[in-house]
């Protein structure tokens, strides 16, 4: 992020004609419409976003809004590049690539099968209990790791558990609920998401204060999401003694050691998973040495270490990578960066600015809703930065609920569309991997009631409850 800002500022790109901004805004709207109609136009998401990125770059070059030429790196080195290349959030791409490879290779040790069967036995074969187990795990993992890694790990475990229970028809409901919960878990701490860090730092919100004020909402929203998901996707509890007895008899026959070919490799997988979690969590702290390397480096490092165990089968793991997903993110970052240079995000910010002037109650509620809808189609990182700058320039005090409106809106907006956050898109990708087809609009239809509930609860919480909490 710092690299992007540095590169842009070095070239002094500040004045953009309104007509250019409107042109790029129209391009953004067209991209979203095409994604919504992907089944009708018979094009993959990566192709739609890739074409948008190419058009945005061509328009940016012709209009002169994209700076080209010498770029000064933070270490003092200089390179000659189109500046849109640093606009790609390589950290996100490497987290997805590294985590996917790590989980895929680690699964060969039988570890994930072992964990999934343990959870399945703890649930006594009750799908509703299993949903609660994995839902809470998703929130905790999202808070201490990152949303993408949490989704990859928990999604893999859910598939194994439901496969053992012969209830794969419930997998789509599990994955969608888990995808939504990643963004709720991302609200729990100051370091759980980049928008939290940006807004929290600007408003001088401390780590403990952030946790105290965010935790009650996260707890309530998690419970509401799981209950709503259980009802929406018919993930019911076992009702009769006969059903419970049959389920208990079924799960008691499960053997946790199924899939474990080598106990040595199994314990190696355990050690690597624990180290992976610790390193990913510590990478969230920029003050720590590992934090300087970033989560993406950590994910790739552990992926390489695990691949060393299967040197002869590396090609097989590479072929299993979802390259379409990775290219989608690369193209999306390029398109959004071009939009940022065209001042589309500034236009969104200016549109929201009058809302802030409406006062802490009406203004705060409308700010939360508008930032949520804005973040559902744009990158929430620059959006959070723009809104933070607006609030700071208007002299809004750090204890104002306005800051929390931006935090909640920027995070929860990712639940409105599959492109709103990396984790929801990963959830959709896992669905497709298990032959559970869901389109852009299919996701929106299923997720929209949940997202509206999340935003409504957040508005009530920010406007009426948050100000009474300590901190």
Give the model's confidence band at 6: pLDDT under 50 very low, under 70 low, under 90 confident, else very high.
very low
pLDDT in tens, 28-51: 889 888 887 877 888 888 899 899
User: What percent of the chain lies above the pLDDT cut of 90?
Assistant: 36
Cα–Cα–Cα angle for 223, 227, 228, rounded to 5 degrees: 115
pLDDT in tens, 309-334: 777 667 777 777 778 878 888 888 88
Residue identified by tokens 């794969």 is 168
When the pLDDT of each residue in the chain is averaged and rounded to a whole number, the result is: 85
> Does residue 284 have a pLDDT over 70?
no
> What pLDDT does residue 291 have?
67
Task: With beta carbons less than 8 A apart as the criterion, state whether 375 and 437 touch.
Answer: no
pLDDT in tens, 123-136: 999 999 999 999 99
**Greatest alpha-carbon span in the chain:** 72
> What pLDDT does residue 286 have?
58
Residue 407 CB neighbour total at 10 angstroms: 30
Lowest pLDDT segment from 145-149, 298-302, 419-423 = 145-149
Using the Cα atoms of residue 127, residue 128, residue 131 and residue 136 in order, give the sign of their dihedral: negative
**399 contacts: CB under 8 Å, gap ≥ 6:** none
CA gap 62, 233 in Å, rounded: 49
448: three-class secondary structure by DSSP = helix
431: enclosing H helix or E strand: helix 422-433
Q: What predicted TM-score, i.e. pTM, was given to this entire model? A: 0.78
Task: With beta carbons less than 8 A apart as the criterion, state whether 73 and 79 touch.
Answer: yes
pLDDT in tens, 447-457: 999 999 999 99
> What pLDDT does residue 287 have?
62
Average pLDDT over residues 181-200: 87
Q: What would the DSSP string read from start to end of 352-420?
A: HHHHHTT-TTHHHHHHHHHHHHHHTTS-HHHHHHHHHHHHHHTT--TTSHHHHHHHHHHHHGGGTSTTS
78: three-class secondary structure by DSSP = strand
79: three-class secondary structure by DSSP = strand
Report how far apart the first and last C-alpha atoms of the chain are (Å, whole number): 29
Task: With beta carbons less than 8 A apart as the criterion, state whether 171 and 127 touch.
Answer: no
262: three-class secondary structure by DSSP = coil
> Does residue 7 have a pLDDT over 50?
no
């Amino acid at each position: 992020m710092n690299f992007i800002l540095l590169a842009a500022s070095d070239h002094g790109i500040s004045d953009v004609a309104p007509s250019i901004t409107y042109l790029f805004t129209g391009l953004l709207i067209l991209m979203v419409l095409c994604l919504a109609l992907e089944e009708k136009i018979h094009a993959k998401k990566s192709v739609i976003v890739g074409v948008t990125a190419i058009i945005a770059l061509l328009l940016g070059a012709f209009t002169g809004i994209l700076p080209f030429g010498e770029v000064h790196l933070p270490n003092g080195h200089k390179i000659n590049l189109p500046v849109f290349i640093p606009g790609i959030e390589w950290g996100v791409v490497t987290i997805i690539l590294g985590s996917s490879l790590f989980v895929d290779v680690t699964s060969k040790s039988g570890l994930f099968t072992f964990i999934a069967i343990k959870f399945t036995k703890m649930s006594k074969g009750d799908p509703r209990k299993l949903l609660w187990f994995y839902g809470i795990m998703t929130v905790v993992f999202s808070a201490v790791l990152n949303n993408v890694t949490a989704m990859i790990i928990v999604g893999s475990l859910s598939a194994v558990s439901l496969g053992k229970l012969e209830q794969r028809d419930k997998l789509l409901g599990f994955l969608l609920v888990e995808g939504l919960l990643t963004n709720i878990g991302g609200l729990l701490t100051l370091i759980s998401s980049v928008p939290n860090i940006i807004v929290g730092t600007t408003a001088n919100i401390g780590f403990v204060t952030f946790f105290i004020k965010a935790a009650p909402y996260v707890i309530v929203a998690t419970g509401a999401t799981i209950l709503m998901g259980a009802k929406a996707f018919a993930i019911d509890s076992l009702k009769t003694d006969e059903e419970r007895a049959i389920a208990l008899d079924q799960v008691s026959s499960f053997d946790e050691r199924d899939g474990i070919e080598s106990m040595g490799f199994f314990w190696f997988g355990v050690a690597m998973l624990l180290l992976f979690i610790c390193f990913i969590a510590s990478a969230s702290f920029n003050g720590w040495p590992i934090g300087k390397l970033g989560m993406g480096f950590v994910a790739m490092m552990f992926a390489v270490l695990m691949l060393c165990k299967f040197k002869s089968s590396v090609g097989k793991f590479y072929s299993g990578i979802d390259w379409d997903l990775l290219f989608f993110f690369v193209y999306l970052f390029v398109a959004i960066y071009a939009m940022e240079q065209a001042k589309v995000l500034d236009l969104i910010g200016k549109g929201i600015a009058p809302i802030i002037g409406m006062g802490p109650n009406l203004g705060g509620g409308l700010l939360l809703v508008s930032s949520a809808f804005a973040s559902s189609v744009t990158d929430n990182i620059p959006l959070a930065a723009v809104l933070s700058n607006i609030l700071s320039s208007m002299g809004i005090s750090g204890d104002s609920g306005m800051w929390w409106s931006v935090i909640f809106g920027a995070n929860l907006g990712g639940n409105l569309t599959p492109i709103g956050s990396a984790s929801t898109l990963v959830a959709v990708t896992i669905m497709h991997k298990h032959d559970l087809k869901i389109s852009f609009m299919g996701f929106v239809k299923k997720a929209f009631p949940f997202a509206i509930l999340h935003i409504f609860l957040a508005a009530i919480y920010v406007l009426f409850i948050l100000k009474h909490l300590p901190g």
